[in-house]
Amino acid sequence: MLQLILGGARSGKSRLAEKLAADTHLPVTYIATSQPLDGEMNQRVAQHRARRPAEWALVEEPLALAWVLRENAASDRCLLVDCLTLWLTNLLMLDDPQRLIAEREALLDCIGVLPGEVIFVSNETGMGVVPLGELTRRYVDEAGWLHQALAERCQRVVLTVAGLPLTLKGTAL
């Protein structure tokens, strides 16, 4: 099953995704897309690490997500990707705009054939004001288009607000 867990900052989306992964009773591979480049992000990463079970495998990949998914997916495994908007940000910050297009297409092309369970976590950014600045507007646009494309392909889509899941598509939690 493919699942997309959306929510705002500190909405509980990562905790929900981690619970869903644990509930599969499969070995879990946590795919981290962040690049902890400052002290604050290092603290966030440490919090996530402290919450995860020690037996979960970890793959850190900020750019080549489709490749990592294909390499790690298996019928007897759960992959948890946290988070897509950090991955998107990493790609937007590159000097190569074609890399974003290629990586997004590779992701969307591969997810329909991945075996096992895959849970994607992403920040829902389309519920606020339109941001100032070309890069932030592009980020919101790209995130929105990515979420729409993933939601179409996923069997379950959940919006998390204040730690509460609202199932938008698929079987309710």
Structure-token pair, residue 121: 């976590």
User: Which one of the listed residues 15, 48, 70, 138 is annotated catalytic?
Assistant: 48
Question: What would the mean pLDDT of 113-139 be, rounded to a whole number?
Answer: 90
Encode pLDDT of 5-40 as tens digits: 999 988 999 999 999 999 999 999 999 998 777 777
Find all residues with CB under 8 Å of 61, minimum gap 6, and list them: 31, 32, 33, 67, 68
Confidence class of residue 103 from pLDDT cuts 50, 70 and 90?
Answer: very high
Q: Which residues of 31-54 are buried (b: 16+ CB within 10 A; e: fewer)?
A: bbbbbeeeeeeeeeeeebeeebee
The pTM of the full predicted model, rounded to 2 decimals, is 0.94
Encode pLDDT of 43-96 as tens digits: 877 777 888 899 999 999 999 999 999 999 999 999 999 999 999 999 999 989
3-state secondary structure of 72: helix
Q: Which pLDDT score, from 0 to 100, does residue 50 have?
A: 81
Find all residues with CB under 8 Å of 171, minimum gap 6, and list them: 156
Q: What is the spatial distance between Cα 28 and Cα 76, in angstroms, rounded to a whole number? A: 9
Residue 105 has pLDDT above 80, yes or no: yes
Q: Which pLDDT score, from 0 to 100, does residue 74 have?
A: 98
> Could you tell me if 93 and 139 are in contact, meaning their C-beta atoms sit under 8 angstroms apart?
no
Q: What residues form DSSP beta bridges with 157?
A: 4, 169
Find all residues with CB under 8 Å of 62, minimum gap 6, and list them: 33, 34, 35, 86, 87, 90
Question: What would the mean pLDDT of 125-152 be, rounded to a whole number?
Answer: 90
Q: Which pLDDT score, from 0 to 100, does residue 31 have?
A: 98
Tally the residues of the chain: 173
> Would residue 48 show up in a list of annotated catalytic residues for this protein?
yes
Residue 142 has pLDDT above 80, yes or no: yes
Q: Which pLDDT score, from 0 to 100, does residue 57 have?
A: 97
Q: Which pLDDT score, from 0 to 100, does residue 44 have?
A: 76
Q: What residues form DSSP beta bridges with 57?
A: 29
